[in-house]
Structure 1
């Protein structure tokens, strides 16, 4: 009964009104309080016209990415796996807060990114797939859905709830063993002892946190700081802010110290790839953990692309 209740809660929470790669953590919560507040339009207010059809298509892709954009993804994640409540929830990288900030310069690729390019990156890294063309119906539908969610929001303004509230560095250095204990106590029931997530009715309900069906080494969630911020604000599901900051850092370290698909920018050398793309204390790629160099045994990026429109 407890397990069934968790599945039911997940469907409601992850899907919200039906109900990447991961935006970077935002400024600390104290700073976020000064940002303007915004509430997206009600889920049942999508217009009943041709524009609304494209909004709904974007929502469908967002909630069931494999079913509606499967030819571009290489794992079993959905957009809503990280952007909770159909991209509505504040402090879970909501789409209404992201839409108003693009175009924007990103240090990840060293140039100004359009929103389309940002979405393409989510497919390449968080979804471990390939980038849809910028003018594809998939990208246009997602942009339209985000535009509708941000209706009435000020452009170029960081809104309250954007991204994840950034955490201060932990009092103790993040630790694998402590993180494993947190995972076993608070995470294993939903995400499994092997981090592979869980399915219900043939659909992924709780996403894989590592392994071939999870995000690859280029995704934003591979950063321990980003993962810790997301976990603190949102996990366990429906119990956000119940873990301590130290627990969030520790379990994020444990999760990101597991193997996952290779960074698609891999150039044949883990050492060189780390030097070029992962030269940060928040990235474990290329470091030795428990006697293994992370990334050295990763499966190739891209995964197995699913069928889909």
Structure 2
């Protein structure tokens, strides 16, 4: 049985929150009202092996180290982490939970072409990006013990999955486009009602004995502007399927979009790919209606304050 402390560490990015927006960022035209059919279906998903079945040998030690890195990244991969997050904050239940980008759904899909860097990436290179963007740190060198352990953990968890076939529950849930443009004020209300209890009124999460148990959602200790969670569609899908923690699929689709907007409408560390100006960086890397980088919200252009957190 998992300890209460471990369960607390499984706490994750609930996502949301701040003031009114002037003007709203342009999003794709709303579709017809979403129905309950938009709730992710996970019944047929792949079941990863039980942790108790890890092999009791040297390879098993690497698998276990990968699990420890996943759940307490700042301790076991300290040299490469620049914020208060862990891998588990975005990949719940130590990377095992469907619709929270589980490792068993990711490992068999690489090597793969990524539009983010316009080339084919290995799984290890994909992990490097997580450290650079989501962890706001620096990429471990290829072959580093941290990457090897994380790869071993993901490989073991994915045994039995077909190569190159996206299984049910992989990645984040895909929501229909919102019936109304996401709104800051509505998102703030959802945040206060459903998210602030864990992530605090200021969105900075909670710590116990110096360890993060509920992650910060914006600010200096959160993910940076290059992370995938800064995209509204990723954030809304994650929130809908998993938040509030333990009560996934209880928010409406619109609530999920609104609170994702609220969360992503706050300042956070600069995109490491910054190119001379926010406008130029947006054009190069954030030219999508799902990104608020470079968009004016509440009279401030997001991204311009990243160096003054």
- Partner of residue 208 from structure 2, selected from 180, 192, 200: 200
Paired with 2:44 and 2:147, the residues of 1 have a C-alpha distance of 28
1:164 aligns with one of 165, 172, 175: 172
Structure 1 distance, partners of 2:92, 2:233, is 19
* CA-to-aligned-CA distance 1:233-275 (integer Å, 9 cap, x gap): 0000000000000000000000000000000000120000000
Q: Does 1:276 align with 2:284?
A: yes
Q: In the alignment, what sits opposite 1:306?
A: none
**Alpha-carbon displacement from aligned partner over 1:175-198 (angstroms, at most 9, x marks no partner):** 000000000111111111111110
1:73 to 67, 81, 84: 81
CA–CA separation in structure 1 for the residues paired with 2:37 and 2:137: 33
Secondary structure of the equivalent of 2:201?
coil
Residue in 2 that maps onto 1:105: 113
**Paired residue total:** 283
Q: C-alpha distance in 2, partners of 1:152/1:13?
A: 30
Structure 1 residues 49-99: Cα deviation after superposition (integer angstroms, max 9, x where no partner): 000000011111111000000110100100001100010001111001100
List runs of 5+ in structure 2 lacking aligned partners.
Answer: 12-35
Which one of the candidate residues 101, 114, 127 is aligned to 1:119? 127
Q: Tell me, yes or no, if structure 1 residue 12 matches structure 2 residue 14.
A: no
TM-score for the superposition, normalised by structure 2: 0.87
SS in 1 for 2:106: helix
What residue in structure 1 maps to residue 198 of structure 2? 190
Q: CA deviation at 1:201?
A: 2.2
Match in the other structure for 1:289: 297
Alignment root-mean-square deviation, CA: 2.2
Q: Is the 8 A contact 2:38 2:176 kept in 1?
A: no
- Classify the secondary structure of the residue corresponding to 2:306: coil
1:203 CA displacement: 0.8
CA contact (8 A) 1:212 1:299 kept: no
Give me the TM-score of the superposition, normalised by structure 1. Answer: 0.87
* Pairing 1:237–2:245 present: yes
Once the two structures are superposed, what CA deviation does each residue of 1:128-177 show, in whole Å capped at 9, x if it has no partner?
00000011000010000000000111111111110112000110000000
Determine if the alignment matches structure 1 residue 59 to structure 2 residue 67: yes
Cα distance change, pair 160–29 in 1 and its aligned pair in 2 (3 A): farther
- Tell me, in whole angstroms, the C-alpha distance in 2 between the residues paired with 1:236 and 1:123: 25
Q: 1:13: Cα distance to partner?
A: 6.6
Report runs of 4+ in structure 1 exceeding 2 Å deviation.
Answer: 13-16, 28-37
Alpha-carbon deviation of 1:31?
Answer: 11
